[in-house]
Amino acid sequence: MTIVIDASLDWSLTTIKVIQGALQLCQSIGVGEKVEDEDADLCLDALNGVIKELPSYGFQWPRISSNPVAITWTIGTPSIVTPPTDYFGVPLLKFTDSSGSLRPLKQVPKAIWEAYDLTKTADYPEVFYVSPDLSFHLYPAPTQEPGLMLSYQSILPDVILAGTTNIQQQFVNSLQYFLADEISLKYGVDQTIRAEISARAAQKKFLMLQWATDQAPISFTVDDCAYPRSGPLEWR
């Protein structure tokens, strides 16, 4: 048998292949059997729901935009700007200073934001707050065009049956397990098989998180005591 090696770096699975794999895991179809239209529609809706939920579990994809986009600004107090319509989260907002250099703005939580005097103005903002409606609030309110540029995590578009999923290839194969776990109750899968599917999906999700983009800050703590000590430096 001749083995052909595909040198492509963009390997993926079509949506219908993911659905077919999930239905096979649920033992709803056999190997080589066709996915019926009704099953395809149901599984497509479920798969879109699964993919949309994944960022809430700590996954960041597609890759955070490497090319910042310009954000429209209008003078006013308070100073509020609107992100792109496909904005999901993980903002990296920068302003352009007088020398033309991009300078990062610090994102602050609601408790700190509410302590500011929001009538204050300045040539350039220093921080920003993202409100529940996803609008960006700048502080101090700039008195001139700040030249805002934003990098961010975008909303995942819906997948289509003939298309492929827009996630990293090392995650693609796991989608059939997540989908099978999602639809197993609807297909009346035997409890033993359902438990096996769920366990495998949880294991794959755990492994995937090791590769997911971590947006949390890293902090180090050092014991204030004499050495030698009983263990390594603590980090988290």
Q: How does pLDDT run across 97-109, given as a tens digit for each residue?
A: 999 999 999 999 9
| Band (158; pLDDT cuts 50, 70, 90) | confident
pTM: 0.62
* Residue 132, φ and ψ in degrees, nearest 5: -60, -25
Whole-angstrom distance, CA of residue 182 vs CA of residue 49: 9
Kindly give, in sequence order, each residue whose CB lies less than 8 Å from that of residue 172, ignoring residues fewer than 6 positions away. 11, 12, 13, 18, 165
Is 229 a residue whose pLDDT tops 60? no
| Band (146; pLDDT cuts 50, 70, 90) | very high
Which tops the pLDDT comparison, 206 or 23?
23
How is residue 81 written in tokens?
A: 């700007």
pLDDT of residue 93: 95
- Among 137-141, 169-173, 200-204, 226-230, the minimum mean pLDDT is found in 226-230
Which tops the pLDDT comparison, 227 or 29?
29
| Band (212; pLDDT cuts 50, 70, 90) | low
pLDDT in tens, 73-127: 988 878 999 999 888 888 999 999 999 999 999 999 999 999 999 999 999 999 9
pLDDT of residue 143: 93
pLDDT in tens, 11-33: 678 899 999 999 999 999 998 89
**Residue 40 belongs to what H/E stretch?**
helix 37-53
Report helix, strand and coil shares of the chain as percent, to nearest 5: 30, 20, 55
What is the β-pairing status of strands 79-81 and 136-139? antiparallel
